[in-house]
Amino acid sequence: MLLVADIGNTETVLGLRTSGGSIGPRWRIRSDPARTPDELGIVLRELIASVPDAPRIEALVAASVVPPFTRVLAEAGERYLGIAVEEFYWRPELGIRLAVDEPTQVGADRVANALGAHLAYPGPAIVIDFGTATTFDVVAGDGAFLGGAIAPGIEAAAASLFSRTALLPRIALGFPESSIGRTTVENLQIGVYHGATVMVDGLVARIRAEWERGARVIATGGLAGQLAPHCESVDVVDPDLTLKGIGWGYERLRPRTA
Domain boundaries, the chain: 2-87, 103-115+122-240
Per-residue pLDDT reduced to its tens digit, 169-192? 555 666 778 889 888 778 888 888
Distance CA 212, CA 144 (A): 14
Distance CA 176, CA 193 (A): 7
pLDDT greater at residue 158 or residue 190: 190
Domain 2-87 has CATH 3.30.420.40: yes
| Chain Cα centroid distance, residue 144 | 18
Q: What is the pLDDT of residue 258?
A: 41
Q: In percent, how much of the chain has pLDDT > 90?
A: 71
Enter the DSSP assignment of 55: P
User: Among the options 109, 129, 137, 240, which is catalytic?
Assistant: 109
109 is catalytic: yes
Per-residue pLDDT reduced to its tens digit, 197-234? 999 999 999 999 999 999 999 999 988 998 999 999 99
Residue 86, H or E segment = strand 84-87
Contact 159, 10 (CB under 8 A): no
CATH of span 103-115+122-240: 3.30.420.40
Query: Do the two domains 2-87 and 103-115+122-240 of this chain adopt the same fold?
Result: yes
Is pLDDT at 193 greater than 80 in this prediction? Answer: yes
Spatial strand order of the sheet with 125-130 comes to 145-152, 133-139, 125-130, 216-220, 236-237
Q: In terms of pTM, does the model score above 0.85?
A: yes
Is pLDDT at 27 greater than 90 in this prediction? Answer: yes
